[in-house]
């Protein structure tokens, strides 16, 4: 996953217009609806920590795990700046497929389409198994991903994105390659990044392989890992999933078996 080598340098710029507060309000409402009284959250793919810090403002205790060490460093820097001593947050480097903590959680979150980065059934099963072993009794798992029917209807296209803040200037060209047999899209990004403070520029490329998923296959994969699907809806809007719902949200629950 060398794709993330440079990602942290421009991650926050790339998502500067993302409404984190609105997303956290949405997640908090889902948690309250499906597991009222939840306190502890494990976030797989915690990035630079923005969701976690906002969730902590709502009273949750969090452990954030990310594959990228540079992302975790930025998250810890942000935590150190914003922590008033009453936050219970930790950020760790780890693989969502392999993580093994000695703690169980009321809620596991995985946002920013982390599940779509699991491009094989084996990877998805490993991640879901990791989620299941970290969920407390009747704990819930909330994640988003690329939704198959929408990807097939609104096929990925070439795109150019230009962004800028006081530190960086970015130009990114996206070239997708769609493999309909494997349900994946390889998105090759050519990136021009300028450090406005140092006056330095460099270019690089990275490819993000993304798996799009369908509700019936997710139900099977979740079931194999001791979880069941409670609800599926369009991310952030709560609308019923449709061919226009590129981003889907799935709310799942750990199955408690009485022996």
121-134 and 215-224 helices, crossing angle to 10° = 50
* Residues pairing with 192 in the sheet: 171, 203
pTM for the predicted model, two decimal places: 0.94
Structure tokens at 222: 């979740």
Q: Band of the pLDDT at 5, cuts 50, 70, 90?
A: low
Cα separations (Å) of 165 from 12, 13, 17, 78, 248? 10, 7, 11, 18, 30
Structure tokens at 233: 């809806």
More confident position, 240 or 193: 240
CA 214 to chain centre: 17
More confident position, 177 or 259: 177
Within 8 A by CB and 6+ apart from 148, the residues are: 183, 212, 213, 214
69-82 and 50-57 helices, crossing angle to 10° = 30
Residue whose pair of structure tokens reads 């609105």 in the numeric block: 22
Structure tokens at 199: 């006056």
The architecture in CATH of the region 2-147+212-254 reads 3-Layer(aba) Sandwich (3.40)
pLDDT at 2 over 50: no
Structure tokens at 213: 């998923």
Each residue of 16-26: pLDDT tens digit? 889 999 999 99
Each residue of 79-94: pLDDT tens digit? 998 876 677 999 999 9
CB atoms inside a 10 Å sphere around CB 228: 11
Q: Band of the pLDDT at 258, cuts 50, 70, 90?
A: low
- Classified by CATH at the fold level, domain 151-211 comes out as 2.20.130
Residue 3 burial by Cβ neighbours in a 10 Å radius (0-12, 13-18, 19+): middle
- Candidates 74, 81, 84, 10; CA nearest to 48 is 74
pLDDT in the model for residue 58: 95
Cα separations (Å) of 253 from 27, 93, 118, 131? 15, 26, 20, 11
Q: Band of the pLDDT at 1, cuts 50, 70, 90?
A: very low
* Residues pairing with 209 in the sheet: 186
Q: Tell me the average pLDDT of the chain.
A: 93
pLDDT in the model for residue 62: 97
Q: Band of the pLDDT at 4, cuts 50, 70, 90?
A: low
Q: Band of the pLDDT at 135, cuts 50, 70, 90?
A: very high
Percentages helix, strand, coil for the chain, rounded to the nearest 5? 30, 35, 30
- Parse the chain into domains and list their residue ranges: 2-147+212-254, 151-211
Query: What percentage of the chain has pLDDT greater than the value 90?
Result: 81
């Amino acid at each position: 996953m060398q794709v993330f080598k440079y990602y942290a340098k421009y991650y926050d710029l790339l998502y500067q217009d993302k409404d984190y507060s609105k997303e956290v309000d949405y997640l908090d409402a889902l948690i309250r609806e499906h597991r009222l009284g939840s306190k502890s959250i494990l976030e797989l793919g915690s990035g630079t920590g923005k969701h976690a810090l906002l969730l902590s403002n709502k009273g949750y205790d969090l452990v954030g795990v990310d594959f990228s060490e540079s992302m975790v460093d930025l998250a810890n820097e942000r935590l150190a700046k914003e922590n008033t001593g009453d936050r219970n947050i930790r950020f760790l480097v780890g693989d969502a497929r392999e993580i093994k903590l000695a703690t169980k959680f009321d809620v596991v979150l995985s946002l920013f389409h982390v599940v779509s980065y699991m491009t094989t059934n084996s990877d998805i099963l490993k991640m879901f198994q990791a989620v299941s072993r970290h969920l407390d009794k009747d704990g819930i798992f909330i994640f988003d991903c690329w939704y198959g029917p929408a990807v097939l209807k609104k096929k990925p296209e070439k795109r150019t994105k230009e962004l800028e803040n006081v530190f960086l200037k970015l130009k990114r060209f996206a070239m997708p390659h769609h493999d309909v047999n494997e349900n994946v899209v390889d998105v090759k990004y050519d990136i021009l990044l300028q450090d406005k403070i140092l006056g330095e520029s460099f270019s690089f490329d990275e490819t993000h392989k993304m798996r799009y998923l369908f509700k019936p296959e997710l139900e099977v994969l979740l079931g194999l890992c001791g979880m069941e699907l409670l609800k599926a809806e369009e991310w952030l809007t709560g609308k019923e999933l449709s061919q226009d719902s590129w981003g889907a949200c799935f709310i799942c629950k750990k199955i408690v078996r009485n022996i």
